[in-house]
Amino acid sequence: MSDEQPPREPFEAPAQIPPPPPVQFSAGGASTQAGRPVAATVIGIVLLVFAGIGLISEISNIVMLFIAKTASAVVQKDAVIHSAVIAAVTIPAQVIIGIGLLRMRPWARKGAIVVLIALFVISAINTTLVFSQQDLTAGMPVEAAPYANGIMIGSVIIGLLFSLGINGLMIFFLTRPNVVQAFKEKGE
């Protein structure tokens, strides 16, 4: 050091302050390619994956219906047909909405919200119909029946709460102001 300048104090603040982080990285709004929010990308992919899983499930239900030769197959035939009719509507809707979200179509965000609400409502109605039409403890020892019913009902409630949580989170992210704005900009 030269004799002309006094030594710096160790607690002295640096001369420059780093810039603040970019605002585009707020929750649910980080952009990917072409201004598409991450939330739209993730939800679009999730809807496509759910549609694929639903298609595989429906195909396996129909195959099992033709393979099964038991008395319970007759009872399940109505449930499989009911499920296949619902899947014929919901699976294409999930594919169309998922692709629309990935392509940033203005109608896809609102369509996704409607489809997510409808999927939860359909799930709740189907669960109610299954429980009301079937004897869930058939073939079980009498002593196990109360516990089995409790376990089955508990697992259904957990499944419905999980569905509500997942769908609710997706709706939450689709309604964030930055996601809404990104879809509005694409619509202009």
Report, as an integer, the average pLDDT of 16-34.
59
Pick the range with the lowest mean pLDDT from 32-41, 53-62, 83-92, 165-174. Answer: 32-41
Q: Please tell me the predicted confidence (pLDDT) of residue 143.
A: 67
Q: What is the pLDDT of residues 153-170, one digit of tens each?
A: 787 788 888 889 999 999
- In this prediction the pTM is 0.70
Q: Name the pLDDT band for 176 (thresholds 50, 70, 90).
A: very high
Calculate what percentage of the chain has a pLDDT beyond 70.
69
Q: What single string gives the DSSP state of each residue in the chain?
A: --SSSPPPPTTPPPS--PPPPPGGGSTTT-B-GGG-BHHHHHHHHHHHHHHHHHHHHHHHHHHHHHH--SHHHHHHHHHHHHHHHHHHHHHHHHHHHHHHHHTT-HHHHHHHHHHHHHHHHHHHHHHHHHHHHS-TTTTS-TTTHHHHHHHHHHHHHHHHHHHHHHHHHHHHHHTSHHHHHHHHHHH-
Rounded mean pLDDT, 103-108: 92
